[in-house]
Amino acid sequence: AQKVTQAQTEISVVEKEDVTLDCVYETRDTTYYLFWYKQPPSGELVFLIRRNSFDEQNEISGRYSWNFQKSTSSFNFTITASQVVDSAVYFCALILTGNQFYFGTGTSLTVIP
Amino acid sequence: EAQVTQNPRYLITVTGKKLTVTCSQNMNHEYMSWYRQDPGLGLRQIYYSMNVEVTDKGDVPEGYKVSRKEKRNFPLILESPSPNQTSLYFCASSWNREIPYEQYFGPGTRLTVT
């Protein structure tokens, strides 16, 4: 059963628009971690954020913000005032005890200039 | 420079011909892992290792072998590759403490099995 769902396969926005990437996860564990990674067209994977299941505070880092809601099992990622350099595939991942990683299928974001 | 290296970066081979993809990290990380990336399927974990001589199956271990004899190296072995193993493979490493740390990924190995 899929543990991480990124329902948005592809999203296109015009530069300077805000965009939210959805991530819904599934687990019965009470302790778990959630990550977001970015994969630009060059192919490397870039770590963006880690969140544990006990910390529901939202986080903001520049134009990036994350909204973690345990009640809906979601960990959504918002880019404010998008830029062309934000064009990439974004992956959400769930890590359970034992350090096994479960990645979502990714959301491909295209920012149109 | 802290990095994860993979070799080769590109490989075209034929069905049944054994191959090894090497992975090495210079950060003294305990945790290492292999993933495959396929269109529409995201990244799927093949095997991971919490430390030397400790390996565990991920989500899709069938058809793969790994070994962890040294801390820095974690080779991926395909004993008898098949076309359905055509994929983009990533190696990753991280610290292994009481919480999972960010993984550093290698540049990827694009494997084609004909």
Q: Which of A37-51, A90-104, B27-41, B94-108 has the lowest mean pLDDT?
A: B94-108
Rounded Cα gap, residues B97 and B100, in angstroms: 7
Please give the pLDDT value at position B102.
85
Residue A106 parent element (H or E)? none
Tell me the chain A residues in contact with residue B56 when contact means C-beta distances shorter than 8 Å.
Answer: 98, 100
Give the confidence band of B31 by pLDDT, cuts at 50, 70, 90.
very high
Question: B39-71: buried (b, 16+ CB within 10 Å) or exposed (e) per residue?
Answer: eeebbbbbbbbbeeeebeebbbbeebebebeeb
Give the confidence band of B42 by pLDDT, cuts at 50, 70, 90.
very high
Find the CB nearest B48 among A93, A100, A106: A100
Q: Residue A41 in 3-state DSSP?
A: coil
A7 and B CB contact within 8 Å:
no
Q: Does A100 sit within 8 Å of B43, measured CB to CB?
A: no
A44 and B CB contact within 8 Å:
yes
What confidence tens digit (pLDDT) does each residue in A71-95 have?
A: 999 999 999 999 999 999 999 999 9
Tell me the chain A residues in contact with residue B44 when contact means C-beta distances shorter than 8 Å.
Answer: 103
Q: Is the dihedral of CA B101, B102, B104, B109 positive or negative?
A: positive
Mean pLDDT for all residues in chain B:
94
